[in-house]
Amino acid sequence: MSAGITVQADILAEQMAAIFRGWGMAEEAIGKSVEIMLEADLMGIDSHGVTMLPTYEQLFKDGRLEMNPKVTVVKETPVMAMIDGGGSLGHYPSSIAMDLAIEKAKKVGMAAVTVRHSNHYGAAGVYALRAARHGLIGISTSSVWNPAIVPTRASEPMFGTNPFAFSAPTRKNRPFLLDMATSTVAIGKLKLAWLAGKTLPEGWALTPDGKPELNAEQAMASRLMTPLGGSGTMSSHKGYGLAAMVEILSTMLAGATYAPLRNRPEGHYDIGHFFFALDPHAFRDDTDFEDELDAMIDRLHNARPVDPAEPVLVPGDPEFDRRAKRERDGIPIAGPMVEMLAGIAERAGVPFTLGRLAA
């Protein structure tokens, strides 16, 4: 087994781009996909960056991805738009959608943009954060092609892990950033546990008879994950409801396909996404919003901790801290993932430039 490696962001970006190029992906789609995936890796959202390439390779082999997609705006007003992703990997049309929502919100105060006929789009928080960096409140949600969340009292999955992300701008602090799956954990965490040879904590996943599943490899295969909360006694109905909310915004509103009702065994999965941008200055004067959010964040940071060695964090703190560290020191990649990437590069007919780091 290969040893793990640590890779500088630009080198990892070149490797991902080379693989996509080997698959025949259009250059603009490559640029957007690598940008979003790399941002996830830098922020420590390891389940949604380069570790997704084995999944994307399988989608490509199965004919689920359009390598030269025609992304089109099919409906538009000053405050909304509906985009057809053309069967693309989701990062490309989603980048276009979030940027369009930002552009419209700057003009009229708020805007919503949906995407249909798409695929997995990476980390939801990357899109929401893009709005905050433009001084706007941002929201991003997505459906998923393969059901994984088992509703409270059910024995079969009805929703994907259906992520929700919210970000808001500040003046002196780092942006507020909430990025969460509506399952107890993102399914990528199962993959990371499997790659690391770890046992799952009780409450992450279920066996077919509803008992806690502790084997990460088996959990990856069965895809029976708990809604946020983990069990009925821990209010998993709330996570179930949030997953349904995300599905409504991402699928029904966007005109995409609800996975349990999908009857096409082949072709594109038709995943949907939802993006929203809101200008706080349409409501508040000058920097009132940012100043008051800064004051809230400062107060949260100063809340009395249970353990002085573990201060109170604000959503986004772990991601921003990891980003600063990884920009400086590089992005860690586990040994099994290094081996997978080597195989993917070979099958794509491109050099495995990370190999020299693993030697």
Q: Give dist(CA 8, CA 224) in Å, integer.
A: 35
Q: Which of 165, 193, 224 is the last residue of a domain?
A: 224
Q: Which of 208, 224, 240 is the last residue of a domain?
A: 224
Phi/psi for 197 (5° steps) reads: 70, 30
Domain assignment of residue 250, yes or no: yes
Residues 162-171, mean pLDDT to the nearest whole number: 97
Domain assignment of residue 325, yes or no: no
Question: By three-state DSSP, how is residue 42 classified?
Answer: helix
Domain range enclosing 199: 185-224
Q: Which residue has the higher pLDDT, 295 or 47?
A: 295
Q: Are residues 90 and 160 in the same domain?
A: yes
pLDDT band at residue 2 under the 50/70/90 scheme: low
CATH code of the domain covering residue 26: 1.10.1530.10
Q: Are residues 215 and 234 in the same domain?
A: no
Longest pairwise C-alpha distance within the chain: 58
Residues with Cβ within 8 Å of 10's Cβ and at least 6 positions away in sequence, in order, are none
CATH code of the domain covering residue 205: 3.30.60.50
pLDDT band at residue 222 under the 50/70/90 scheme: very high
Please provide the size of the chain in residues. Answer: 359
Residues with Cβ within 8 Å of 223's Cβ and at least 6 positions away in sequence, in order, are 146, 147, 148, 157, 187
Q: Are residues 212 and 267 in the same domain?
A: no
Q: Are residues 88 and 47 in the same domain?
A: no
Joined together, the tokens standing for residue 183 give 């399952």
> Model's pTM, two decimal places?
0.94
Q: Are residues 269 and 169 in the same domain?
A: yes
Q: How many CB atoms lie within 10 A of CB 339?
A: 13
Q: Give dist(CA 344, CA 16) in Å, integer.
A: 10
- Whether 126 and 301 have beta carbons less than 8 Å apart is answered as no
Give the model's pLDDT for residue 23: 98
Q: Are residues 234 and 212 in the same domain?
A: no
Joined together, the tokens standing for residue 23 give 């698959």
- Whether 258 and 252 have beta carbons less than 8 Å apart is answered as yes
Closest residue by Cα to residue 91 from 72, 115, 74, 62: 115
On the question of pLDDT at 1 being above 80, the answer is: no
Q: Which of 224, 251, 277 is the last residue of a domain?
A: 224
Give the model's pLDDT for residue 187: 82
Q: Report the chain's mean pLDDT, rounded to a whole number.
A: 95
Give the model's pLDDT for residue 355: 83
How remote is the C-alpha of 286 from its chain's centroid?
32
Joined together, the tokens standing for residue 218 give 């088996």
Domain assignment of residue 285, yes or no: yes
Q: Are residues 158 and 255 in the same domain?
A: yes
On the question of pLDDT at 132 being above 60, the answer is: yes
Q: Are residues 192 and 176 in the same domain?
A: no
Is beta strand 80-84 parallel, antiparallel or unpaired with respect to 164-168?
Answer: unpaired
Q: Which residue has the higher pLDDT, 148 or 187?
A: 148
- Chain segment 253-298, per-residue pLDDT in tens: 999 999 999 766 567 899 999 999 999 999 998 889 999 999 999 9
Q: Are residues 195 and 177 in the same domain?
A: no
What total of structural domains would you count in the chain? 3
Q: What is the DSSP letter of 280?
A: G
Q: Are residues 143 and 271 in the same domain?
A: yes
CATH code of the domain covering residue 137: 3.30.1370.60
Q: Are residues 83 and 155 in the same domain?
A: yes
Give the model's pLDDT for residue 329: 97
Closest residue by Cα to residue 80 from 249, 288, 266: 249
Give the model's pLDDT for residue 265: 58
Give me the amino acid identity at 231: S
Provide the percentage of residues in the chain whose pLDDT is more than 70: 98
Question: By three-state DSSP, how is residue 165 classified?
Answer: strand
Q: What is the DSSP letter of 259?
A: G
- Whether 179 and 158 have beta carbons less than 8 Å apart is answered as no
The sign of the CA dihedral 206, 209, 215, 219 is negative
Q: Are residues 310 and 178 in the same domain?
A: yes
